[in-house]
Amino acid sequence: MSSVEKKRLRDRRAQQNLRSKRSQHMAVLEKEVAHCREHHDDQGIQRLLQVITGLRKQNDALRSRQEHLKSLINAWDANPAEIPAILHKSPDQCLPGSIAVPEGPMNNTTSSSNLIQPSRNNTPRDDPSPSSLLIGSDSSYQQVPYPPILSREPPTTGTCLAWKHLPLNDDDYSNPRTISCAWLEHPERIALCPDSPASPLDLLYGTNTNYLADMIYKSTQRRPIRDPERLAIGWLCYHFTRWIMSPSPATYANIPPFLRPVPDQLQIMHPLVLDNVPWPQLRVNLIRHWDVFREVRDDLFGLFSCCVKVRWPWGESILERNSDNELCIKQKFFETFMSETGWGLTPEFIQRYPQLLAGVDVRAITYELVGKEF
């Protein structure tokens, strides 16, 4: 072959190799683009950003509380005249779940003991011993020396909004042993779930398309509860969890007023599972004395799941078909479990744990089952 022919042959091989590399590179890029479109859509990114923002705000709130506790400790041996100045050195706590720091000098209504109250151990000195609390008796539940009932409204300091105040829970998502709700093991997957289940069947029978609804369904399957309670509890837990993972006015609006946090939930460290109890005062009693009931939580929650009931007639349907012939929650049933008066407790739980009903109108929440419901 002449030199010209050899050169042409080399050029053709070089062009062929270039086209082959370009084709392989294009194939790799197409796969990456397809993967990004499937797993990194704008909606998913926005939800992840919301989760990150919420976690950062929670971290800032915890740091702020830590600084405030340090100031309380430093004020222990300080001159009484200097105590107000020391206590007010903490930064602005207008953050999700933060504690408002009183301004001005302390008076008779704001003592140092009240400021120290939001700690893990909130049992008063004159409280009965753990063993006496766990033993049911025929005495009136009102004789248990619980602290006074607090307001249900969350603190509104400055420009803080209610949806920003997250409960102060001790669930560490990086350690499965500390997670009190089984469906919180993968918070990053919860962030990708819709604000509401696509169908009530997802909570009643499980689903492969909604991680949060399916995990709540599997958790309720462990307890012997009826379909009305399974759907109602699942619906409330789903929307409460969505707000915790992605706090916003929209997710907060989906939570019924009786399930929204009260001051004790914002100030006392507790397991997140306690925030799903329907009655605010019962939540407060559990949170304040969780150190007592921690060791018997399996028995407590086992009995509670059997005794908590939606006030719904036996045998009446909880689903109906809409205009598109799709099964949806019956409007009357939805209004029932979205109201605090729509929930009741059977006498078995009240008799076993009367101390948890301190400050609760027992007659109003007692729900007697008729014979055919057993």
Q: How many CB atoms lie within 10 A of CB 295?
A: 11
What percentage of the chain exceeds 90 in pLDDT? 33
Token pair in block for residue 367:
């729900």
Domain boundaries, the chain: 166-365
Where does the pLDDT of residue 76 fall: very low under 50, low under 70, confident under 90, or very high at 90 and above? confident
Q: 277 by DSSP, 3-state: which?
A: coil
**pLDDT reported for residue 71:** 81
Q: How far apart are CA 290 and CA 109, in angstroms?
A: 26
pTM: 0.59
Q: What are 247-292's pLDDT values in tens digits?
A: 889 999 999 999 999 999 998 889 889 999 999 999 999 999 998 8
Q: What is the pLDDT of residue 79?
A: 61
- Please, which residues have CB within 8 angstroms of residue 161's CB and are 6 or more apart in sequence? 249
pLDDT at 321: 92
Contact 165, 252 (CB under 8 A): no
Q: Give the whole-number percent of the chain exceeding pLDDT 70.
A: 73
| Structure confidence at residue 84 as a pLDDT band (50, 70, 90) | low
